Structure 1
Amino acid sequence: MTTTGRRALLTAGIAAAAATALPGCTAAEEPGPRKPGAAEVEAERVARAEAALRLRSVTASRSLLERYDAALAAHPALAPRLTPLRRSVAAHVKALGEGGTTVRPATAAPSPTATTTTASASASASASASARPAPSPAPVAADPRTALNELAAAERTTSDTHTAALVTAPPEYARLLASVAAAGAAHSYLLTEGARA
């Protein structure tokens, strides 16, 4: 083979190698859509479920707090008895809402919105819930004893709601829910049976 033939063959080989390498370089610079992995999708599902659970738990306790406020407004004479329990319920509302789960959408293509942390799902859900008109609290009975019994029933209902949520709650949140549910059962006792003792 002549020198000219070798050069032509070498030049053709280099050109072919360069042509093959160029598309690879371009693809590396501009990544195409990336499909989220199963682990990412599952992590997002778990985070959304936890945020929804937190929202339900906070809503249940907030409704109970509103019942206390309505009872105190209707029966100011019950303040010495209801105020400590109301304070406890307000603390429960705060504790149940703390540490909302931040959800990153598992999108197919990276984008500025997908790579930055989105607002927590519980915060966005509560924002949409606050956009709707809040239901007015149940009317309070005119008789103080009946009002206490109704408040005790509301405590039991809220406690049952928190107990039912234990099955799907993550471990740390389940412990908090169990504690709040137990406190609700104690409040119910203090509102009815405890008064007779």
Structure 2
Amino acid sequence: MIRAISKNALALGAAAALCVAVLGLVNQLTHERIAQQRLSSKLAILSEVLPGSDASATLLADCVLVRDAELLGRDSAQAIYRWRPQDTLSAYIIETTAPDGYSGNIDLLVAVTPDGTVLGSRVLEHKETPGLGDKIELRRSEWILSFAQQQVTEENSAKWAVRKDGGQFDQFTGATITPRAVVTAVRKAALYIQQHPELAALSANCPAQ
């Protein structure tokens, strides 16, 4: 009896070890491909928010991590990429979060010049209602393009709101909470850039992509 149990235990152990080895091999073979796909996806989004630019790994490397729950929507660190064509700082691309979406966080990428002009913005991730709140996605509507070339200042901050709140941006029929959250997040991201001129001189500290 003991001998049979021992044999079964050894067989199970060998099978488990084989499974672990196979999984490790598969992970090793696919890791590089997955990493490359993630890099390509991130570069594609960066190119979208920087019209006419050629986003590259160099842009990803010129990155700093910052924390500001009030203006950037999260307690955790957010990444800011610095775009320097011909070694001249032209814009920041900032990861930010609207924490007050209808169904939770809405993660965004926003390109802003040092003077607070929004060049472009895209939604990275959200859980908003299909057919209503998902109009913040470019594939669903062009609403997200309405921020392009709009400057944020302390003086015009009130205009950075949906029309229902007295601002200049459209809301969606039957869904005001979602666009309101996005407008606010984009405005706060631009204000953050203006309030932190030291960003240009900070040493890059983001993890390797």
Greater C-alpha Rg: 1
The TM-score, its normalising length taken from structure 2, stands at 0.24
The TM-score, its normalising length taken from structure 1, stands at 0.25
Greater share of helix residues, 1 or 2? 1
Greater share of strand residues, 1 or 2? 2
